[in-house]
Amino acid sequence: MLSMYMEDIFAVLSQEEYRSADSIANQIGVSEKTVRKRIKGLRSALLENGADIIAKVRFGYKLVIIDETLFQNFLDAEGQEKIPEAAEERVQFLLAYLINRNEYIKIDDLCEFLYTSKTTISQTIKSVENILAPYHIVIERKANYGIRILGEEYNIRQLMCDYFVKRDNFSGLIINKQKAGVSTLAKLIWGLLVKYDIHLSEIAFENFVEYVYVATKRMGRNNYLSDSYENIQALGIIERSFIDELIKELESGYHITYTENEKNYLTLYLEGKHIIGNANNFVIQEHIDLLVIKVLDLLYREYHMDFRNNFKLRMLLNQHLVPFDIRMKYSIPLKNPLLTGIKEKYCLAYEMALKATAVLSEYYGKPISEDETGYLALIFALTLEETKSNMRSNILIVCNSGKSALQLIKFKYERTFSDYINEMYVCDLIGLEKFDFTKVDYIFTTVPIVRDVPLPVMEVGVFLENSDVRAVADVLKRGSRNFLETFYTEERFITDISSDTKVGILKELCGIIKKNELVDPDFYELVMERESYVQMNYGNYITVPHPSRIASEITFVYVAVLKKPVEWNGFPVQVVLLTSIGRKEDVNRQNFYEVTARFAFNSEAVSELIKNPHYEVLMQLLE
């Protein structure tokens, strides 16, 4: 690579006289064979930058300048490459070197090439193998031949996009040239997208450009896709015309030849990134809609949130799964730069997306990437936010100032909070004794309530001052500040489970629940039935089992902190949150899901609870 050439051979070549391979070898301390190898590679690099190396029998090699301006720009470019000295530099160098050659390379030659020991080369190769592994690419070792990489071409291209183009894991001359090449290609593709009125998101456009850039480089070295990609007739005529013209420009400008197979894959790649038009012009595909229905059925079973008749969500999922379908069938990657933020900000939506991927993974017979899961989570996040804004509460107003004052207060609440209230009831303290609390979600009172009531209570002024308006609106919009205490109680926090197996722990927990809660007789069997499904791993020593259907009157959660981790569906678990969704609707149910999901995904919070297994610690962490 350039780092080596610029450091040694290029430094000793002359424009005035020939230098023999022997003299060059003596000067830089390598063999004549190595000199010839490096000169071959250096010549290829110089030819693109206004220079050449000519060879003359019995005389040696001489540098010849063809284009002074181009060659000077080459010399003036910032950051001339050096021999990789740091471990990370060697890893990047070796990875790029192996990807860009099909032949074997001996370990001894690599040592000589990089001026390093066999021990260091072995460590570098292991690091390279760790990078290759997620892409199903391996390093093949063959006695007397050396090493080379083996893998599917589309996996190699994905690695190159991810590791070298996206992350800029080059420096100096190479990265400057790469950026210029990507920029030139982006201008060409953008112009054609505008011409054919094809719309890609910024992320999809960037991914497509990067793929085309890598594909041209690979085909330029005679590396073509080996798998057969069918010519799908259902793809749009406009997209095909775009691809035809793009390929014509690429073949002409980059001196490459697109096979029919490469053309089909490029078309599929574009379609896999394509953003479908508005819902009014969208035609539902039967197999995609059946997948959507399965996903919505699963979410209903898991969360008892009924989105099955939510036409907008159903259409959004259908639109999303059309290009997703192509990406999955043909292993087309789609990066998600928003992934970290999605996981942090929309925990419940991400959890729902993770569970939905069980349906998708089963259908396609392969795992769904985190990037794809993140995009799916955005759709659920939008739906959850809209659900929040449409949720209205039933409230009870308690006042002891007489009928006129009660009616006046009721009128003011109706006028001020009409967007948040569904049903409103009023009574005095005496009427409170016989009131059916199952009718309402919150109680707002102008007088102290000394008796126990099973609902959140907020004291407000009779005349509903500005501070009261803000406080009431906050509760109605966001839910009661102490709603968690309705679901998580001290009596439901357990630290003395004696069993040390999943089945034993669940049996013990369900036995405690049956003694203390109104649950169906087959509660334990329903929990075990749910455990037989595909399970989600939070990765934080926590699990959240629950019955396969509604099996209790109210919503609750039992928290068990185990004395030591146990094996649970193949993963270590030390905190069990056994949840049960009640038959009675609760305005805070979604808030409960969100808080619970946020806690389950927070490894620091779970670790803190394991270190300090106390109810007060749990509530602080949840809040």
In degrees, to the nearest 5, what angle opens at C-alpha 111 toward C-alphas 105 and 117? Answer: 140
**CATH code of the domain made up of 486-622:** 3.40.930.10
Helix, strand, coil share (%) of the chain residues, nearest 5:
55, 10, 30
DSSP 8-state secondary structure symbol assigned to residue 65: E
Q: Which residues contact 231 (CB under 8 A, 6 or more apart)?
A: 260, 264
Domain boundaries in the chain? 2-76, 87-151, 172-273, 279-370, 393-478, 486-622
pLDDT score recorded for residue 81: 47
Which class is 2-76 in CATH? mainly alpha
pLDDT score recorded for residue 619: 92
Alpha carbons 179 and 331: distance in angstroms, whole number: 26
Which residues on adjacent β-strands are paired with residue 573? 566
Which residues on adjacent β-strands are paired with residue 579? 557
Which class is 87-151 in CATH? mainly alpha
pLDDT score recorded for residue 317: 93
Q: Positive or negative CA dihedral for 316, 317, 321, 324?
A: positive
pLDDT score recorded for residue 86: 79
pLDDT score recorded for residue 395: 92
User: Each residue of 183-212: b (16+ CB within 10 Å) or e?
Assistant: eebbebbeebbeebebebeebbbbbbbbbb
Tell me the C-alpha to C-alpha distance, in Å, between residue 236 and each of 17, 230, 274, 382, 400: 61, 15, 11, 29, 70
- What homologous superfamily is domain 393-478 in, according to CATH? Response regulator (3.40.50.2300)
Per-10-residue mean pLDDT for the chain, 623 residues long?
A: 50 81 77 81 80 88 85 59 70 86 86 83 92 92 91 90 72 61 87 88 81 91 78 67 94 89 86 52 75 93 87 90 81 83 88 92 91 94 78 85 81 84 89 89 90 86 83 72 80 94 96 94 94 81 92 92 93 94 79 88 94 94 85
DSSP string of 498-518? ---SHHHHHHHHHHHHHHHS-
| pTM > 0.85: yes or no | no
DSSP 8-state secondary structure symbol assigned to residue 519: B
Assess if CATH 2.60.120 describes domain 172-273: no
pLDDT score recorded for residue 403: 78
DSSP 8-state secondary structure symbol assigned to residue 554: S
pLDDT score recorded for residue 188: 92
Alpha carbons 130 and 137: distance in angstroms, whole number: 10
Alpha carbons 188 and 247: distance in angstroms, whole number: 11
Among residues 321, 323, 293, the alpha carbon closest in space to that of 379 is found at: 321
pLDDT score recorded for residue 503: 95
pLDDT score recorded for residue 233: 52
Tokens (6 digits) for 425: 């009831």
Same fold, 2-76 and 393-478: no
Question: What torsion, rounded to 10 degrees, do the Cα atoms 466, 471, 472, 474 define?
Answer: 120
pLDDT score recorded for residue 592: 86
pLDDT score recorded for residue 535: 73
Q: Are 262 and 212 in contact (CB under 8 A)?
A: no
Amino acid letter at 105? I
Model confidence over 252-303: pLDDT tens digits?
Answer: 888 889 998 898 888 888 877 654 333 444 557 788 899 999 999 999 888 8
